[in-house]
Structure 1
């Protein structure tokens, strides 16, 4: 399958006259079209800096980032890159600019110069895809956190990106809001074949991905399926990361003499293992 994201020997440094900090250190990574990739790492690991390089908000100090073959260093391709790889940020209030939901979703399309008749269809389709169509006439400030984030996602979808980057998009939400957004992310990936790059510090969200990448000090230190990555419990804890609750519980049960699969990831899998013991 063809790659939509290609990162080759990416180095990114924050610097001024007084200091220089290497946030991403010689990172190479490919993401295939239609893939759902989760990126995890503690604060300062470089994951949010990476997301901003993918959307050309930041440009490499050295190395290359290509989005659908377009190099982010090519300034003439900036709008094409951002239309191909949309970005959803941590705080939905920072992305919502209009006073009515449907007007906010239309905002990005208007900036792209899309015809009014086409915008109308895109806005309706985008709101339906995130199950917010019935709220199209509401004021965003009256919505819950999860609903606001879904409106922000709809605004990106209306621009028809092939890829959406979620940069800690669930971090400010309560458990109910996080579930709403995760359900939306999975739907966009599975039903609409939109490539998803989900940067998160919630391990239970990373479990939903096809592939998990662990970052530490700007480098990729682990990569694989969720089951492969979260089997490295000791290594993850050494770099300050948790593992899914059910994986930790499975390890504790094994230590206490109850033999179940140590690589359990979800509640459903744990229930299956416990039923098997009976």
Structure 2
């Protein structure tokens, strides 16, 4: 995990409001890198700049200032767009906006077909990618018959079929119910852990962020905090002051500690809480 998948150097981005003649600085001199094979989570409240920076990572947006490199390809150079989008796929919030075909397997085949991949190779990719997201038995289904979580997994399979090196999930679980969110998170963890694919997840859900190798917290277009989930979430007061939550078990540990219980402040999961409470007996 030593080579950069993505490098953002002093990136700024302004949204121009032509009607009112003013502009808003959405990303403000941001610098960070994403290593190959890393699972990075970007957190921040609405308007923090997290989705804007995500869209820079596959050249949907071009920086107003600074540079973004995707595997050494400069996103500012139009000649690189095709290569960049092959390297970094994107899964959005609403799966209905990403599904284009009337049958699941045809939807997954759509991307490779547009890349000019040979039909026999497409067949292999479709079967492989549906298997990776545990949707192979639904390959002949119509997407509108699927649940939200299943649709999102089909959208992920469609991106995987393009063989990217990195997938950016821009609040991809925001419209799902808890079981759909769990399904998609299991898929995201598996493609990162089992297939060593670089994953960047933009999310509002702190329980999802616990799974990351590293977390970046953004506020007002800047990076405010950066570190492991344990390091970030143990700073409960700082997170709350930014209008962000922490995982439920971290919050419980914080409240217990505030009430005089001698307990670790960096607990993230129920299992950790149980073992810590057993230790206190």
User: TM-score w.r.t. structure 2 length?
Assistant: 0.98
Residue number in structure 1 paired with 2:14: 13
State the distance in 2 between where 1:80 and 1:117 align. Answer: 23
Residue number in structure 1 paired with 2:128: 125
2:86 and 2:162 in contact (8 A); partners too: yes
Aligned pairs for 1:46-195 (under 5 A) are 46-195=49-198
SS at match of 2:194: helix
State the distance in 1 between where 2:26 and 2:214 align. Answer: 22
2:212 and 2:229 in contact (8 A); partners too: yes
Residue number in structure 2 paired with 1:218: 221
Q: Which runs of 5+ in 2 are unaligned?
A: none
Q: CA offset at residue 256 of structure 1? A: 2.0
Runs of 4+ more than 2 Å apart: none
Q: How big is each residue's C-alpha offset from its partner over 1:160-182, in whole Å with a ceiling of 9 and x where there is no partner? A: 11000000000000110000000
Q: CA offset at residue 16 of structure 1? A: 3.5
State the distance in 2 between where 1:117 and 1:221 align. Answer: 48
State the distance in 1 between where 2:13 and 2:222 align. Answer: 11
1:262 aligns with 2:265: yes
2:62 and 2:75 in contact (8 A); partners too: yes
SS at match of 1:192: coil
RMSD (CA atoms): 0.7
Tell me the matched-pair count. Answer: 278
SS at match of 1:242: coil
Residue number in structure 1 paired with 2:4: 3
Aligned pairs for 1:26-65 (under 5 A) are 26-65=29-68
User: TM-score w.r.t. structure 1 length?
Assistant: 0.99
SS at match of 1:234: helix
